[in-house]
Amino acid sequence: MAFVSPDHVRASFSAAMSDMYRAEVPQYGTLIDLVDASNAAVLARDPALADTMRRTGEIERLAGERHGAIRVGTPAELALIRRAFAVMGMIAVGYYDLAAAGVPVHSTAFRPIGQAALGANPFRVFTSLLRLELIEDERLRAEAQAILDARRIVTPGASALIDQAERDGGLDAAAATDFVAELVETFRWHATATVTADTYAHLLDAHRLIADVVSFRGPHINHLTPRALDIDAVQAAMPSAGIIPKETIEGPPRRRCPVLLRQTSFKALDEPILFPSAAGEAVPGRHTARFGEVEQRGAALTPRGRAIYDNALAAARQGEDRFGELPDDWNALRRGELAYFRYSGAPVPRVDLDAAIAAGDIQSDPLIYEDFLPVSAAGIFQSNLGAEVRAAYGAQANRAAFETALGGPVLDEFALYAAAEARSLERVVV
């Protein structure tokens, strides 16, 4: 049997999700057009950047690059989503505790992990698991658990095709097409809640995100995010396109040498929904959850570089500006082992690597950061939860419990970047 590659399935799924979300949230289509125009302008005025992106393969993946975000309610749902994404070559990378920022979830990112897979299609899904134990009201917690336990978030067809892929080792072209069509249904918006208006109100009072996770048929996609080369320009242009962005861009300040991840979004939609009632009549209501987001990706930092960034972030909360402690120069970042790089060119003696780079015989290109920042993710979530501001939950991060729910470990993103850098070095030094 001839199987299609997981990369092919992932690319098809990413495109199908984008088409679905564009139909559901018209402003998303406007945002895509705005980002595409901005990226074209950046590449036109910066030929050196365009040449580098062509050489590294970044330009080919740019137009279709997206990340999505979903929220699941139970360990069983998380484990099922892990299996579904595995069919598309998407693996859980990183653990993110958002409870410390007042959001009652912990999360991972499902994404491809190899250079070829990322180049083929870098689709990522930031996936959050609701921490029901953080609902203080015991009766409401039990009710939410029962509601979630009763729902099934994938179609029977998708479930059967996940089983088939695991049993056979892949899917043929016809089965892959069916799988994408079936799995998209898991993330579709449904304007009818599965709970009464009274239950919804209680869940909303506990936390808006809890209401969003528990009150609907499944984990509807709450945003899809294109990649911009100049997020500041996109942020400035959004109002003229009829899109009102959040007030600030999350992540590092603007730099000549971008690092990590910068994100902005437009306000979540206030959408009409219907609640079931005991009398059998639908009760109209409103729900706020889905929004649009834009990201700009920079270089992946090493643990040493990340420590400098995290310390600067902590200082910023106290009114200090220490972001200048992270050099804004690619050579300084490389020589200080503060960021990861990919090396290419003809092999040279290791002792001559710096000289070969200076002479242009070896190219050193920063590895793109493929992951997320917990503070930024929480900032995006909070900006789209209305005026509600929540204090940090008392519970501590619990990676072990998350991995138990997932059904396996999450990969260490630093190890992935270090391995990619090491493989490239092995090809250019003797």
What percent of the chain stands above pLDDT 70? 94
Structural domains of the chain, with CATH: 6-298+370-408 (3.10.180.80)
Q: Are 40 and 211 in contact (CB under 8 A)?
A: no
List the beta strands (DSSP E) in 281-399: 283-288, 292-297, 341-345, 362-366
Q: How far is CA 406 from CA 10, 128, 310, in A?
A: 20, 11, 27
Which carries the bigger pLDDT value, residue 347 or residue 12? 12
What integer is the mean pLDDT of 17-24?
91
374-422 pLDDT per residue, tens: 776 665 655 555 545 455 555 566 899 999 999 999 999 999 999 999 9
Note the pLDDT tens digit of each residue in 38-69. 999 999 999 999 999 998 888 888 888 899 99
Give Rg (Cα) of the chain: 22
**Nearest residue to 288 (alpha-carbon basis) of 270, 273, 275:** 270
> Can you read off the two tokens belonging to residue 152?
């099934």
Confidence of residue 271 (pLDDT cuts 50, 70, 90): confident
Verdict on whether the full-model pTM lies above 0.85: yes
Which two structure tokens, joined as six digits, stand for 380?
Answer: 């995006």
Task: Give whichever of 29-33, 108-112, 192-196, 224-228 has the largest mean pLDDT.
Answer: 108-112
Look up residue 323 and give its DSSP letter: G
Joined tokens for residue 282: 């639908």
**pLDDT of 167:** 96
As a whole number, mean pLDDT of residues 274-300 equals 87
Instruction: Indicate if the pLDDT at residue 244 is higher than 90.
Output: no
Average pLDDT of the segment spanning 90-112: 90
Q: Cα 236–125–403 angle (5° rounding)?
A: 135
Residue 404 to residue 92: CA distance in whole angstroms: 13
Rounded Cα–Cα distance for residues 203 and 143 (Å): 10
* Average pLDDT for 182-189: 94
> What confidence score (pLDDT) does residue 387 get?
44
What is the average pLDDT value for the chain, to the nearest integer? 89
Q: Distance (Å, rounded) from C-alpha 13 to C-alpha 33?
A: 20
- Please report the pLDDT score of residue 319 as a whole number: 84
The b/e string for 72-101 (b: 16+ C-beta within 10 A; e otherwise) is: bbbbebbbbbbebbbbbbbbbbbbbbbbbb
Confidence of residue 300 (pLDDT cuts 50, 70, 90): very high
Chain centre to alpha carbon of residue 110 = 8
| Closest among 68, 34, 30, 64 to 188, alpha carbons compared | 68
Query: Could you tell me which residues are beta bridge partners of residue 270?
Result: 288
The pLDDT of residue 171 is: 96
Distance CA 373, CA 261 (A): 7
- Backbone torsions φ then ψ of 358, nearest 5 degrees: -65, -35
The residue-averaged pLDDT of 3-21 equals 95
Tens-place pLDDT, residues 304-359: 999 999 999 888 888 888 999 999 999 999 999 999 999 998 887 777 788 888 88
What is the pLDDT, as a whole number, of residue 374? Answer: 78
Q: Which residue has the tokens 């090491």?
A: 422
Helix (H) or strand (E) holding 265: strand 261-266
What is the mean pLDDT of the segment spanning 258-276? 87
pLDDT number for residue 389: 47
Q: Show the tokens assigned to 95.
A: 């653990």
Separation CA 310–CA 63 (nearest Å):
30
For residues 323 and 262, what is the distance between their CA atoms, to the nearest angstrom?
Answer: 14
Between CA 72 and CA 81 the distance in angstroms is: 9
